[in-house]
Amino acid sequence: MIKRLFGAAATIFAVLALSLTGAGTASAYQPVNIVHTEHVQAGPYSLTIGFSQWPLRAMQSLDFTFIPDGGIDDKSGTLSEIQPNGKVRHQEPLSRHPRKREDWGLDVRSLDQQGAWTFRFAIDGPQGHGEGDLTNLTVLEQPGPPLGISWAVSSIPLIGLIVFLAYAWRRTRRSQALQPA
């Protein structure tokens, strides 16, 4: 009995150990492939904005990099994402890209609506304060079907599973009620 319990525990431990080691952070080391760049002048600072997908599409995750001339070591700044309707979607400090540590950037970010977006940069550094805009950043419509249809189609297997489990539960309950005590 003890050998059987020890064997089962060892098997469970081995499966957990293998599943955890296989699910490491390999994706964190994939390079950021920049396929398109734009340039912005933010006061005395020249800034190169890189995109991992081009053209941009709404609801499509991609990487953004923001590279000032001379590097980011002695500079700080903020980024404001302005939607096509003029509302500020995000305003956040510029921070290092998780996979391209020598640059500022956004990892796996998507823009949620189509139209002409604006990225506004405010940079502080040894040459003072500078502001600049990347205007008319065109975001095309979302690829694929609309979200409502995608959610409806993807929920069909879940609904089927629920129906199957309800049917099996009722059938099991009925057969237990029919058995003599």
Q: Which domains does the chain possess?
A: 33-140 (2.60.40.2550)
pLDDT given at position 19? 61
Per-residue pLDDT of the chain (181 residues; tens, 9 = 90+): 566 655 555 566 655 665 655 555 544 557 888 999 999 999 999 999 999 999 999 989 999 999 999 999 999 999 999 999 999 998 999 999 999 999 999 998 999 999 999 999 999 999 999 999 999 999 999 888 887 888 889 999 999 999 999 999 988 887 777 777 6
pTM above 0.85, yes or no: no
DSSP codes joined into one string, the chain = -HHHHHHHHHHHHHHHHHHHHHTSSGGGGS-----EEEEEEETTEEEEEEESSSSEETT--EEEEEEETT-STT-EEEEEEE-TTS-EEEEEE--B-SS-TTSEEEEEE---S-EEEEEEEEEEETTEEEEEEEEEEEEEPPSSS-HHHHHHHHTHHHHHHHHHHHHHHHHHHHHHHHS--
Q: Give the list of residues 6+ apart from residue 138 with CB closer than 8 angstroms, or none.
A: 55, 56, 115, 116, 117
* Whole-number pLDDT of residue 181: 61
Q: Phi and psi of 50, rounded to 5°? A: -110, 145
Cis peptide bond N-terminal to 126, omega within 30: no
Determine how β-strand 128-140 pairs with β-strand 115-125: antiparallel
pLDDT given at position 3: 61
Nearest to 93 by CA among 82, 101, 105, 107: 105
Longest dimension (CA), the chain: 90
- b/e 149-160 (16+ beta carbons within 10 angstroms → b): eeeeeeeeeeee
